[in-house]
């Protein structure tokens, strides 16, 4: 993409020859109308992707259309479930199971990711205009990403969904790299309806219900219409304990009898639990432990070195054995408790015979609450325990003139006692974190549309804002906690009393008194918000002049929009209240246990754009040219200027369709696209993140010394990474190619078949190299005698030197921090195929049949590695770096942690009189979980053969509806019974937080659904 400076006036007034590649209404079809609305007498033609009103554009670009019947077939209770049923939609990174950190987009949220090109590369529209972004953000494929929230779209308010499966930056602007999804709302309702439904997941306590209604009426002698909708949804939530695959971090029993039986990767119980790990600030030989590092465990476990009383003992070492590790899913919710409220009003009024005024107003609120694992300290932020702390087992010999009852006998520690460093500990007795996320979204659209002479116009103003409050209860203040531990009286907090002796991984059977916990238990908030203001003006004409092939259409327009965001962190996270260890003097910018410091961040952006579009029919059937029944061409272009980064994108697009003979149409498109760095990437002034990472070079030394078996058993440690944004980032470029065929054989009336090949190349991707990749690169280079300068280490200690002695590897000190700034990285190329079938079976007297099939085949997805990444991949290929060291986000990513080769959905509907029966199937293909690799690698042509295979997932929905149409009070009543996931398929097992890929699969199981609707 060419970028250049341009003044605001020149941008708004300049004209460029554009063309709008208007996508086809490939499956133009009747849409089931909302209750109370008259049925159309002719099929409704769906066209998205062109701004030319009334242009006769069909079969040009690939569009998937979901009408009300298709939406109902999916069984969706939320926008997230609805969009997941689209095969071209990729992984859903924003989902409610992704809740482990406040730095993720938590709560009742869903995202959209067409083609798996990355969240933020798909533009989501409501009635043809942009949605505001969800306030939260998170990292995906090394890139901090943002997305509109699909859950803001209630399926019951939608007339149809139009999915343009091709890049459309020339028509719609930034973020339309992978495609555009337009949600068309129900309007012009005449009459009303009331609706209620109830759902329950078989074999669980999970249930939900929804109440909704709408009313519409004409006024002003039929010149206007007002339609209003409202709805309430409640779901009670489900604990993780109700699903075997989610109940326990130790999933070894679930892989028994497979090739991965006994693989330690499936035991993810955490080294941070109520049985803590400590470092004595005294010589190693001063206690019977024989080491300054020790951890606590039940006294019945082997290798006890020192009895602590109460059935627990100390064992030497810095890595707790797997038997004492903690199940982080204990007491958690798998599915949140939630409420959703939505209200909407649609108004249109004919001011004159040629001008119509319209208004859209909507409000959405969600309330989401769930329990997640109790707080733990970060290994990068250990906490000092004073020698004078009441429960310090190595405290002073005397206290208040009496022998200290808490000091353990049999040590040579001085009578003054010794300080301790608490390096691993989880505050299980403080309770699971109780997280609520409340969200409010307001949207207002007002505009005029109509015509003056032969020209159509549409102009509008949009204002929308979204705000969230993420409140986490039962968090731990480091400062207050350290004060409580270091009290010299019995009301101090005791971190040495262990947990449950029978099963150390579940709960805490020896909790501290509430009076010693409450002083340091806090609530922590994150307040975030986004807004969108937009003004546009568009004109079009479908008959500017005539050619032998037909009328030439043209459209042009200008747009201004302003986007803002803010991210307000709790004072204990944003640097206002910090933690300075009273024992060691170490400083940390966060005072919240387990959470890295994050500064308050905000940003704003103004964007100015202009577009033009031309549709040129070159050949029509009337010309009677052999093998050229029709030939159409679209040209489009757009300029878009981003004021904050002072960059301008200029993107063209050309598309065409060639109908060889009636019923056989070839189509193709080439376009350029762009995506500007999002406001988080540009305005982040410096974020510190502490993540658990494997320090591979240290673990390699442990392997050489026989301490651990392989790098797969590397215990991980807290690593600080520094990231910052910059205004020097430039927009990402993309090039899209789409080639396809549409078959509508005349000898099978009602049948449409489509096949499309697509290819997208993205360059200048904004992201980070990744701190885990940086550490892996440091590992490779240290094996070869050098190092990675972005991995900054402390000087090796005597203990470090001793560990590396005799390994042939130079001693490496502890990682201090990793530099991981945002950059315009390298390129990504992805390609695949789409296949479609739509068949409205002729009526043979057996009722109406309608068949649909939509399939997506991903052929490849290659992320270019760049020099550093390629060095890593070469090291793996050469066998220098073992497969246990995974390289995130680089190379061929097909079927890697997502991105299955095949996804499809299909449905069959049968209607006969008052009865409607629907059958819907949804398939998600196999992927590989690269966090698990075979202990004994096999030789295979499949590069993923040594990783854990996550099985395909196929579910079916069945529904039966009966409508009453008579002159009784029950007239207009419809009863529908449905079963989602008819055969109660569990999501396939994966080495993930809750045992499955929540961004691909669902844990709801078989769901019974009863719906009652009454129209009037």
Q: Which two tokens stand for residue 518?
A: 């409450």
Q: Which residue has the tokens 């065929």?
A: 741
Helix (H, G, I), strand (E, B) or coil at 61: coil
Who contacts 897 (Cβ-Cβ below 8 Å, separation ≥6)? Answer: 927, 928, 929, 930, 931, 997
Helix (H, G, I), strand (E, B) or coil at 763: strand
State residue 725's pLDDT score.
67
pLDDT mean across residues, the chain? 90
Most confident of 57-61, 713-717, 919-923: 919-923
Spatial contact of 669 and 738, defined as CB atoms under 8 Å apart: yes
**C-beta atoms surrounding 802 within 10 Å:** 13
Decide if pLDDT at 834 tops 70.
yes
Spatial contact of 447 and 357, defined as CB atoms under 8 Å apart: yes
Confidence class for position 41, pLDDT limits 50, 70, 90: very low
pLDDT in tens, 963-1004: 999 889 899 999 999 999 999 999 999 999 999 999 999 999
Decide if pLDDT at 23 tops 50.
no
Q: Which of 944, 1006, 1004, 950 is nearest to 978 (CA)?
A: 1006
- How many whole angstroms separate alpha carbon 635 and alpha carbon 566? 38
804-839 burial string, b = 16+ CB within 10 Å, else e? beeeebebbebbebbbbebbbbbbbebbbebbbbbb
Confidence class for position 485, pLDDT limits 50, 70, 90: very high
Decide if pLDDT at 598 tops 90.
no
Q: For residue 303, what are the CA distances in angstroms to 288, 307, 316, 979? A: 12, 11, 8, 54
Who contacts 293 (Cβ-Cβ below 8 Å, separation ≥6)? Answer: 277, 278, 279, 280, 316, 317, 318, 423
Q: Which two tokens stand for residue 25?
A: 């209404």
pLDDT in tens, 164-182: 999 889 989 888 999 999 9
Three-state SS for 233-273 is EEECCEEHHHCHHHHCCECHHHHCCCCCCCCHHHECCECCC
User: Mean per-residue pLDDT for 50-78?
Assistant: 84
- How many whole angstroms separate alpha carbon 648 and alpha carbon 1? 9
pLDDT in tens, 988-998: 999 999 999 99
Q: Which of 109, 113, 39, 110 is nearest to 69 (CA)?
A: 39
User: Mean per-residue pLDDT for 18-27?
Assistant: 31
User: Mean per-residue pLDDT for 329-346?
Assistant: 97
Decide if pLDDT at 750 tops 70.
yes
Spatial contact of 96 and 336, defined as CB atoms under 8 Å apart: yes
Confidence class for position 190, pLDDT limits 50, 70, 90: very high
Spatial contact of 806 and 724, defined as CB atoms under 8 Å apart: no
- How many whole angstroms separate alpha carbon 433 and alpha carbon 375? 7
State residue 19's pLDDT score.
29
Decide if pLDDT at 16 tops 50.
no
pLDDT in tens, 526-570: 999 999 999 999 999 999 999 999 999 999 999 999 999 999 999
237-250 burial string, b = 16+ CB within 10 Å, else e? bbbbbbbebbbbbb
Decide if pLDDT at 388 tops 90.
yes
Decide if pLDDT at 33 tops 80.
no
Confidence class for position 59, pLDDT limits 50, 70, 90: low
Tell me which of 74-83, 162-171, 563-572, 950-959 is least confident.
162-171
Residues comprising the chain, all counted? 1016
Who contacts 86 (Cβ-Cβ below 8 Å, separation ≥6)? Answer: 64, 66, 161, 163, 854, 905
Helix axes 696-704, 771-783, angle to 10 degrees: 50
Spatial contact of 259 and 934, defined as CB atoms under 8 Å apart: yes
Spatial contact of 563 and 530, defined as CB atoms under 8 Å apart: yes
């Amino acid at each position: 993409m060419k970028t250049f400076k341009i003044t605001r006036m020149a941008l708004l007034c300049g004209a460029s020859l554009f063309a709008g590649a208007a996508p086809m209404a490939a499956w133009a079809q009747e849409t089931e109308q909302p209750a109370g609305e008259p049925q159309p007498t002719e099929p409704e033609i769906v066209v998205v992707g062109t701004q030319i009103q009334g242009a006769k554009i069909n079969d040009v670009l690939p569009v998937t259309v979901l009408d009300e019947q298709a939406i109902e077939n999916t069984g969706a209770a939320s926008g997230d479930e609805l969009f997941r049923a689209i095969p071209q939609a990729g992984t859903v990174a924003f989902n409610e199971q992704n809740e482990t950190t406040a730095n993720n987009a938590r709560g009742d949220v869903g995202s959209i990711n067409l083609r798996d090109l990355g969240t933020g590369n798909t533009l989501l529209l409501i009635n043809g205009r942009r949605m505001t972004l969800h306030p939260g953000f998170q990292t995906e494929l090394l890139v901090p990403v943002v997305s509109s929230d699909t859950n803001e779209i209630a399926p019951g308010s939608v007339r149809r969904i139009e999915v343009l499966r091709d890049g459309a930056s020339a028509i719609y602007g930034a973020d339309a790299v992978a495609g555009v999804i337009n949600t068309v709302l129900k309007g012009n309702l005449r009459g009303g309806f009331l609706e209620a439904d109830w759902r329950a997941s078989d074999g669980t306590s999970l249930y939900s219900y929804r109440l909704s209604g709408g009313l519409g009426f004409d006024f002003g002698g039929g010149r206007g219409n007002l339609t209003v909708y409202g709805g309430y949804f409640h779901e009670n939530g489900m604990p993780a304990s109700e699903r075997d695959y989610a109940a326990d971090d130790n999933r070894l029993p679930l892989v028994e009898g497979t090739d991965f039986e006994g693989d330690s990767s499936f035991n993810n119980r955490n080294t941070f639990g109520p049985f803590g790990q400590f470092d004595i600030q005294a010589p190693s030989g001063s206690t019977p432990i024989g080491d300054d590092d020790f951890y606590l465990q039940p006294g019945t476990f082997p290798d006890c070195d020192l009895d602590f009383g109460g059935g627990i003992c100390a064992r030497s070492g810095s890595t707790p054995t797997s038997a004492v590790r903690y199940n982080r899913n204990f007491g958690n919710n798998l599915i949140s408790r939630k409420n959703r409220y939505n209200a909407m009003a649609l108004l249109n009024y004919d001011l004159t015979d040629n001008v119509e005024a319209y208004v859209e107003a909507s409000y959405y609120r969600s309330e989401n609450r769930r329990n997640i694992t109790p707080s733990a300290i970060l290994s990068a932020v250990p906490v000092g325990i004073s020698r004078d702390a009441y429960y310090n087992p190595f405290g002073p010999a005397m206290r208040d003139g009496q022998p200290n009852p808490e000091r353990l006998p049999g040590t040579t520690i001085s009578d003054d006692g010794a300080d301790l460093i608490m390096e691993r500990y989880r505050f299980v007795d403080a309770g699971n974190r109780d997280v609520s996320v409340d969200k409010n979204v307001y949207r207002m659209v007002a505009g005029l549309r109509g015509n003056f002479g032969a020209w159509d116009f549409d102009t509008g103003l949009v204002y929308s804002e979204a705000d969230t409050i993420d409140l986490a209860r039962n968090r731990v203040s480091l400062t207050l906690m350290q004060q409580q531990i270091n009290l010299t009286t019995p009301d101090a907090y005791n971190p040495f009393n262990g947990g449950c002796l029978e099963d150390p991984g579940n709960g805490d059977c020896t909790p501290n008194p509430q009076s010693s916990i409450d002083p340091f238990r806090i609530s922590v908030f994150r307040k975030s918000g986004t807004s969108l203001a937009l003004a546009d003006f568009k004109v079009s004409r479908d008959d500017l002049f005539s050619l032998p092939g037909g009328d030439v259409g043209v459209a042009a327009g200008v747009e201004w929009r302003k986007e803002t965001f803010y991210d307000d962190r709790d004072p204990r996270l944003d640097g206002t209240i910090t933690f300075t260890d009273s024992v060691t003097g170490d400083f940390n910018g966060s005072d919240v246990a387990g959470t890295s410091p994050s500064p308050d961040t905000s940003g704003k952006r103004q964007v100015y754009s202009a577009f033009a579009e031309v549709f040129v029919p070159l050949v029509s059937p009337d010309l009677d040219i052999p093998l050229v029944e029709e030939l159409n061409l679209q040209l489009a272009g757009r300029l878009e200027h981003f004021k904050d980064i002072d960059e301008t994108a200029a993107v063209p697009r050309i598309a065409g369709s060639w109908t060889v003979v009636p019923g056989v149409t070839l189509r193709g498109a080439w376009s350029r696209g762009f995506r500007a760095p999002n406001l988080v990437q540009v305005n982040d002034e410096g974020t510190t993140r502490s993540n658990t990472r494997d320090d591979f070079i240290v673990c390699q030394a442990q392997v050489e010394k026989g301490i651990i078996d392989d790098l797969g058993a590397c215990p991980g440690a807290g690593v600080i990474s520094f990231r910052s944004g910059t205004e020097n980032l430039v927009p990402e470029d993309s090039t899209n190619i789409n080639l396809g065929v549409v078959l509508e054989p005349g000898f099978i009336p009602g049948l449409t078949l489509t096949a499309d090949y697509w290819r997208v190349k993205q360059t200048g991707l904004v992201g980070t190299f990744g701190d885990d990749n940086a550490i892996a690169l440091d590992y490779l280079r240290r094996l070869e005698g050098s190092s990675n300068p972005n991995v900054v280490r402390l000087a090796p200690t005597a203990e470090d030197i001793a560990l590396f002695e005799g390994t042939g590897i130079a001693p490496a000190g502890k990682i201090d921090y990793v530099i991981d700034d945002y950059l315009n990285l390298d390129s990504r190329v992805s390609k695949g195929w789409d296949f479609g079938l739509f068949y409205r079976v002729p009526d043979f007297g057996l009722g109406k049949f309608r068949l649909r099939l939509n399939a997506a085949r991903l052929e490849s997805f290659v992320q270019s590695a760049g020099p550093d990444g390629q060095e890593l991949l070469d090291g793996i290929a050469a066998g220098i770096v073992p497969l246990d060291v995974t390289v995130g986000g680089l190379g061929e990513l097909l079927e890697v942690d997502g991105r299955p080769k095949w996804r499809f959905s299909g449905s069959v509907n049968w209607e006969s009189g008052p009865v409607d029966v629907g059958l819907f199937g949804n398939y998600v293909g196999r992927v590989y979980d690269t966090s698990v690799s075979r202990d004994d690698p096999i030789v295979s042509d499949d590069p993923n053969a040594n990783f854990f295979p996550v099985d395909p997932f196929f579910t079916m929905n069945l529904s039966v509806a009966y409508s009453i149409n008579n002159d009784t009070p029950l007239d207009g009543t419809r009863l529908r019974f449905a079963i989602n996931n008819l055969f109660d398929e569990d999501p396939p097992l994966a080495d993930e937080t809750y045992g499955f890929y929540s961004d691909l699969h669902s844990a709801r199981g078989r769901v019974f659904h009863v719906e009652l609707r009454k129209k009037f």
